[in-house]
Amino acid sequence: MFTTQQLKQVQQVQRNMLSVGSTNGTDDWLTASLPLLTSLSGTEAVYLIEPERMQPVSPGEHNEKDALSVKSPTMNRQFGDGLRDNFVGHDHEGYLLFKDSYITQQHRIIRYFGENAVHDAVVYDLRQWHDCRLYSEAYQPVNIERQMALSVPLRQGGSLLGFGYQQSNVPALGAECHQLLDLLLPAFEANVHFRQCSLDRYAVWTTHIDETEEALAVFSVDGKEYYRNTSLRELLSTEPLADALVEALRLFGAQLQTLATPQPGEMVATSHNVLLGGHSYRLRGYLDRFSQPIPTLIVAVERVSALPTPAWLRSAFNLTHREVTVTHLLVRGLTDREVAQELFISLHTARRHSENILRKLGISSRAGIAHHCRQVKGKNKR
């Protein structure tokens, strides 16, 4: 029978697992749960192993983009490096591939049985396990000889919350520790699938904001930057004071957080102008505390006194990526020789870019580039 204290610990870990992504929850649920998991499992060696991308892959795809994410508040770096070094990728069915064929085979078994509280006594032949390269390079250096784990399969690989032991202190199959971990399995499964769905939504969401012409940065309400869309990355690539502009975005976001809390379903919005290196930027911020589980801050950036966004320049005048870069340098007043030095190209190439830009814009003087672009964009809006 479990004690009241043990059941309370199980309930608190379950709450931590299920609070991931909620407004009042914590994304660092593993660290928050570590003292409780240590008490329930009887070990401080607690680790989370799962695909770094946690995204579906094409059939047969396993390449350099595949990687394992290894998170642990207590394990040293050698453990994670050993796991990643021995990981090869995924096969066409989503099974993990390791350099040791025996480890690959056993992980197929674990994933085949679905959601489970795994004990290595059922899965591994200890003699073969201890002969594997993975064991000698990842587990043995941190004194892990035996394991129990909560396992949840994914479309690609699986998520494994592991608990490491030495031979002398590993709980027996079906022992109290093993049963307590089994009580956590439904909450862990929900935790994994919530994070999987969040990543799926994130992939769709980033695709949408990358398609917009507007330069956007996305922050959490505590100031952590989530994402920069393609237009913003291109704008920053042509901005000599890019770091200062990013800092201005962050500070603007911090000011936005202090505004009055909106009613459910409403957004807080405001704007601000900032001057950097002779260029004026208009920042517009939107804070929505209610439409998503995690409050999101979106800052839109528009260069007012210089040029529109790189994406707009390419679309409006059929400029190449290099021509967009040169256009920004010309607006800053650089000569063809200075453009050549800045971009490490020949003077002849720099002159050719300048001539092509003026021809595509339909003007004769580089001094009028910024004004002409703003004028064309203003007409297009009407």
Q: What's 91's domain CATH number? A: 3.30.450.80
Please list, in sequence order, all residues whose beta carbon lies within 8 angstroms of the beta carbon of residue 27, skipping any fewer than 6 positions away.
Answer: 20, 21
pLDDT, mean over the chain: 84
Q: Are both 48 and 157 inside the same structural domain?
A: yes
The domain in which residue 351 lies consists of 310-381
Query: pLDDT at position 277, please?
Result: 60
Q: Are both 120 and 187 inside the same structural domain?
A: yes
What digits encode the pLDDT tens for the residues 247-294? 888 888 777 766 645 554 455 667 777 767 656 788 888 776 544 545
Q: Are both 298 and 314 inside the same structural domain?
A: no
21: confidence class by pLDDT, cuts 50, 70, 90: low
Least confident of 146-155, 269-278, 348-357: 269-278
What digits encode the pLDDT tens for the residues 27-51? 588 999 999 999 999 999 999 999 8
Query: pLDDT at position 61, please?
Result: 47
Q: Are both 197 and 228 inside the same structural domain?
A: no
Count how many domains the chain has: 3
Please report which residue ranges of the chain form alpha helices under DSSP H: 4-18, 29-41, 77-86, 101-112, 120-123, 126-130, 133-134, 176-211, 230-237, 242-257, 310-317, 321-331, 336-343, 347-361, 369-381
Q: Could you give the CA distance from residue 153 to residue 201 in angstroms, rounded to a whole number? A: 19
Q: Are both 11 and 145 inside the same structural domain?
A: yes
pLDDT tops 90 at residue 305: no
Please list, in sequence order, all residues whose beta carbon lies within 8 angstroms of the beta carbon of residue 204, skipping any fewer than 6 positions away.
Answer: none
Domain endpoint, select from 303, 321, 347: 303
Q: Are both 81 and 186 inside the same structural domain?
A: yes
Q: Are both 175 and 223 inside the same structural domain?
A: no
Cα angle 200, 55, 215 (rounded to 5 degrees) comes to 55
Query: pLDDT at position 291, please?
Result: 46
Least confident of 4-13, 68-77, 326-335, 338-347: 326-335
pLDDT tops 80 at residue 152: yes
pLDDT tops 70 at residue 224: yes
- Read off the CATH number of the domain in which 236 is found: 3.30.450.20
Q: What percentage of residues in the chain have a pLDDT greater than 70? A: 85
Q: Are both 266 and 377 inside the same structural domain?
A: no
Query: pLDDT at position 289, please?
Result: 53
Query: pLDDT at position 16, please?
Result: 92
Least confident of 46-55, 156-165, 290-299: 290-299
Q: Could you give the CA distance from residue 215 to residue 236 in angstroms, rounded to a whole number? A: 10
Q: What percentage of residues in the chain have a pLDDT greater than 90? A: 42
Task: Describe the crossing of helices 347-361 and 321-331 by its angle, rounded to 10 degrees.
Answer: 90
Domain endpoint, select from 171, 204, 237: 204
pLDDT tops 70 at residue 326: yes
Q: Could you give the CA distance from residue 123 to residue 317 in angstroms, rounded to a whole number? A: 63
Q: Are both 280 and 324 inside the same structural domain?
A: no
Q: What is the mean pLDDT of residues 299-321?
A: 82
Query: Amino acid identity of 81?
Result: D
Q: Are both 292 and 230 inside the same structural domain?
A: yes
Query: pLDDT at position 360, please?
Result: 94
Query: pLDDT at position 131, please?
Result: 94
Query: pLDDT at position 203, please?
Result: 79
- Read off the CATH number of the domain in which 327 is found: 1.10.10.10
Does 352 or 61 have the greater pLDDT score? 352
Query: pLDDT at position 268, please?
Result: 60
Domain endpoint, select from 303, 337, 366: 303
Query: Residue 253 has which token pair?
Result: 């976001």
Q: Are both 117 and 25 inside the same structural domain?
A: yes
351: confidence class by pLDDT, cuts 50, 70, 90: very high
Q: What is the mean pLDDT of residues 339-348?
A: 92
Query: Residue 92 has which token pair?
Result: 């066409």
Q: Is 196 left (phi over 0), alpha (psi -120 to 50) or beta?
A: alpha
Query: pLDDT at position 15, please?
Result: 93
Q: Could you give the CA distance from residue 370 to residue 374 in angstroms, rounded to a whole number? A: 6
pLDDT tops 90 at residue 123: no
What digits encode the pLDDT tens for the residues 91-119? 888 888 999 999 999 999 998 888 999 99
Q: Are both 366 and 217 inside the same structural domain?
A: no
Q: Could you give the CA distance from residue 92 to residue 66 in angstroms, rounded to a whole number? A: 13
